Chain A
């Protein structure tokens, strides 16, 4: 089983460039999330979605946009990348029956120069 798959795994951007991170899950989960992880900061929630066509802001949403056009996919976009967005990004998904059990992808390491 693939579980949660993130692409790309690594990316280097210049300040001001845009990009999209793709998250795909094959577990038919309703809920999906994007987190960022920085040294000493743990995991911080950027945006989340409770179903196809819905999105909501998390702790640190500024500078990011998301879309959930299909149930299995959750896209994270950076319209104008900044060095402060250098981080490791994790996508996760779960079921409404137990939202405490999150299934994470392997992460996408983004560097903004």
Chain B
């Protein structure tokens, strides 16, 4: 199983770019990297997913270096509403053992005015 390690918490200010890094040293060849966002009293919500290099959507960017042992979620110009817990999930997305969908402890991002 690809275990993940993230910072427990991060602070930022409105308008800044925030980068949250996830370490996954034993990632397997068929593993993808997926990030989730969770607000209080809600279930986690899918943000972005990638395999290598860079992926961008309307919400965030995901940077994955060539060795894939880490990944960085980048949130451009954060606002107060981006205050949430962010989870990195590493595992196969096509078939495979679904018991490998193991979440880490997440990073609590606090955005201040």
Contacts and interface: CB of A to CB of B under 8 A. Distances in A.
23 contacts: A33-B101, A35-B103, A40-B105, A42-B87, A43-B87, A44-B103, A45-B101, A48-B99, A56-B98, A57-B99, A90-B43, A90-B44, A96-B94, A98-B49, A99-B92, A99-B93, A99-B101, A100-B89, A100-B101, A101-B34, A101-B49, A102-B44, A106-B42
Given A33-B101, A41-B105, A99-B101, 11 more contacts: A43-B44, A45-B101, A92-B43, A99-B92, A100-B32, A100-B49, A101-B49, A102-B46, A104-B44, A107-B42, A107-B43
A74 interface: no
Interface string B3-32: 000000000000000000000000000001
A4 interface: yes
A84 interface: no
Interface of B: 32, 34, 36, 41-46, 49, 87, 89, 91-96, 98-99, 101-106
Nearest to B51: A100
A42 B34 CA distance: 15
B99 to A, nearest CB: 6
A42 B103 contact: yes
